[in-house]
Amino acid sequence: MNKTKGCLIANFATVPFLHIYSQDVACYGENLAYFPKGFIENMFFVSANPWVSFTSFDLNVANMDNFFAPVFTMGKYYTQGDKVLMPLAIQVHHAVCDGFHVGRMLNELQQYCNEWQGGA
């Protein structure tokens, strides 16, 4: 993982993700608990709804005290002119994050997208 400008960007190509994932499936694959490995600090949730392009998305987490993990939800990408756009909803708890942090993360994400597309 790379720590840059206060944001942590994971490069899953350099992480032994598949090996760890395979071990977890073998160990916890039949476990139906929400957190079979126990609660992990410094985690975040990523979900995708690739069938819908949205302008707003809200996720309500019930019966979980002190839920502070950020949640990122991506929607269906689409083209608009010569741009490829994808909705991204970010839900954070203000007790641990504010707009300044979200703004920094979004600016860095945009830079990565521009570089990937061959832009700026």
Per-residue pLDDT of the chain (120 residues; tens, 9 = 90+): 444 444 444 555 556 778 888 898 999 999 988 788 887 777 888 999 999 999 998 888 777 777 888 999 999 999 999 888 999 999 988 888 888 999 999 999 989 888 877 655
94 is catalytic: yes
Catalytic residue among 19, 93, 94, 101: 94
Please list, in sequence order, all residues whose beta carbon lies within 8 angstroms of the beta carbon of residue 113, skipping any fewer than 6 positions away. Answer: 119
**Fold held by 2-117:** Chloramphenicol Acetyltransferase (3.30.559)
- 25-30: long-range contacts at Cβ-Cβ below 8 A with a sequence spacing of 24 or more? none
pTM over 0.75: no
Q: Are strands 45-49 and 7-9 parallel, antiparallel or unpaired?
A: unpaired
